[in-house]
Amino acid sequence: MTDHICECPLRGFCYKHMLDKGQREHDICRGVNVEEHVRRKYLEAWGSPPPVFVPPKVGVARDGLVVPVQSGTVGTELKKLIGWFGIKPCGSCGNYANEMDRNGIEWCEANVETIIKWMSEGAAKIGLAGFTLDRVPGFEFGARKLVEQAISKAKSNVVINPNRRIPRPTDPPIKIPSRWTAEPTRHMIYHIWPTKRSECWRWNVEQLRRRIELFNGVRVVGIAVDSDTVTADEVKAAFAGVRIDHWVIVSNDRKIGEGATFHKMMELLPRGVNDITWYGHAKGTKYESTVVAIPVPGAVGSSGLVPRWTELLYRSTLDHYSEVRKSLESFPITGSMKRYGDFNKPETWRWHYSGTFFWFRNADTFARPQWRKLISFYGAVECWPSCVFKAAEGGVLLGNDVGLLYVESEVVKHEEAYKSWPTDERPTSNGVTDRQFYDEETRREADHWPELVALHGGGVNAIKSLGAKTVVEIGSGLGPFLVAAQSAGLDAIGLGCSPFERDYAISRGVPPERYLLDDATTAMLPQVDAIYCIEVLEHIPEPQLGPMLDQIAAKCRWFYFSSTPHPADDDATWGHVTIKTKAEWIELFSRHGLRFVRDDKSVVEWGMIFISGV
């Protein structure tokens, strides 16, 4: 004989008397000391009595002082309710219950008819007095009541705990200042489940490629493959011409979704105080093309809700780095859209970044043992920030307390909010924004394209006169040198940091695989006969020049170089941070194995040719 809380579907949620162990049917209820009963249950669950006792009520949370119990998802509750009738769920019913648990309360509320259909399928396998259970009069009515009761119980499974709170958007922020001692290095981890259902994964890759120059640190791409996906090699091919440092390839695990690659990618990250990381994953890949409404790979501004709010995530987390940096100065983690009270998962503290695009400070994250925690849930990574950080410790970039992003009005609200943001603010090596630089370069150079190609043709001829056949250009810009080199038969590869400029160069005939997006200070250069670098090094801080020049000297025989020797009033505007005279450049290069050979005015009057290895 033991006290317990009655869960009989015929009586609802009440407190009841003694129940013989193993007895299934509801006995006659009689009163007990409810306060003492629940106090004991709380003590068993939490190890200490609650300072204040308030008996729980269905759907009620007093002043937010509630925390979910360890069970209570809709599928689990529905199985319990059905079990009170002595009915044991069949295998398919158990699978449906698990799916309901994975999808969460909100999904179940919107799909009651689907759940009743599942129950009918199971009932059709159970015989009762010459009928199958689904043919019993009133079955659908009773099934609907059970589903409603299961949803209600899933919502009401809370215990009072004064030491824990459901977070609220109005909670005061908990700021943890950064400990940066230098400009943060920006790393990337990105997950792809490249299903064959649509070209959505390719659209996501294109969105990332347009912005990948932002990441000047480690770049990791995780690929989860199964019978429903294209091959990992096809995904790698979609990143052709882009530096990816690590590929993490795993078998897809639908129980934890993006969590299949998450820990493996995290392990590849540095953990210094000056390291920050962006996480994202290809969105919408589980849907058919007709659902995501992306007409062609690379399309932008589609009418489908999924790509619309996905594009907002890319833009708000990657196109405005100044906002990201500002947020990370105060918070160890930040993301685009913050949502509260979802998933019905007790491990999550009930908050997350909708869409799972977020940045975090590496040192602060890895210092917390909880970073290894991933709950067994299809949204495991979406829940992950709340396993590591309190809601008040997380910053917000675009929207706080967002609603369901599969609703048109909610997406429109955030699209309108984003319109108030300034133009793209991705940082570039020249100190101005990527879009500003591209627009300025295009206006200045597009009208003079033939002259620019001819101008760089002088550099091509100078390089050919040295006997060089292979060349890398550092700082390709809009690509006039690459076009001239291609016409002259040189085997040339360009290196740039702007996807806008790369796209323009490709439109002028540069093969995509011949224009690489990478940071000139950290890129791994191939072994070539010559390296061509015109008006680039003045944009690079002098402490970063040493390692870069060491690599140049090791990877080529000839180095064709120019950098303006004349200080100007607008140097800061254009990001000119290292201005040197001809003699100063020659002296610096000599310390790194590059000897001055001669002047060359084929491109600009202060051009010079150096030789390495002597």
Which of the pair, 388 or 295, is modelled with greater confidence? 388
3 state SS of 598: strand
Give 3's pLDDT tier (boundaries 50, 70, 90): very low
pTM: 0.51
CATH class of 434-612: alpha beta
Contact 78, 189 (CB under 8 A): no
Give 298's pLDDT tier (boundaries 50, 70, 90): very low
Which of the pair, 587 or 295, is modelled with greater confidence? 587
DSSP state of 281: E
Contact 186, 361 (CB under 8 A): no
Q: Residue 260 and residue 257: Cα distance in Å, rounded?
A: 6
Per-residue pLDDT, 128: 62
Q: What angle do CA 598, 604, 610 make, to 5 degrees?
A: 30
State pLDDT tens for residues 434-464: 444 555 555 566 668 888 999 999 999 999 9
Poorest-pLDDT segment among 248-262, 344-358, 361-375, 389-403: 344-358
Torsion of CA 319, 504, 472, 430, to 10 degrees: -40
Per-residue pLDDT, 159: 43
Share of residues in the chain with pLDDT > 90 (%): 37
Q: Residue 348 and residue 236: Cα distance in Å, rounded?
A: 33
Give 297's pLDDT tier (boundaries 50, 70, 90): very low
Contact 614, 573 (CB under 8 A): no
Structure tokens at 457: 């043709």
Where, residue-wise, is CATH 3.40.50.150 in the chain?
A: 434-612
Per-residue pLDDT, 153: 80
**CA distances for 91 relative to 88, 97, 348, 409, 443, angstroms:** 10, 10, 29, 39, 66
Q: Please tell me the CATH code under which domain 185-419 is placed.
A: 3.90.550
Sign of CA dihedral 34, 35, 38, 39: negative
Per-residue pLDDT, 67: 37
Residues 6+ apart with CB under 8 A from 420: none
Where, residue-wise, is CATH 3.90.550 in the chain?
A: 185-419
Per-residue pLDDT, 156: 67
Structure tokens at 360: 């975090």
Give 329's pLDDT tier (boundaries 50, 70, 90): very high
Per-residue pLDDT, 113: 87
Determine the number of helices (DSSP H) and then strands (DSSP E) in the chain. 20, 21
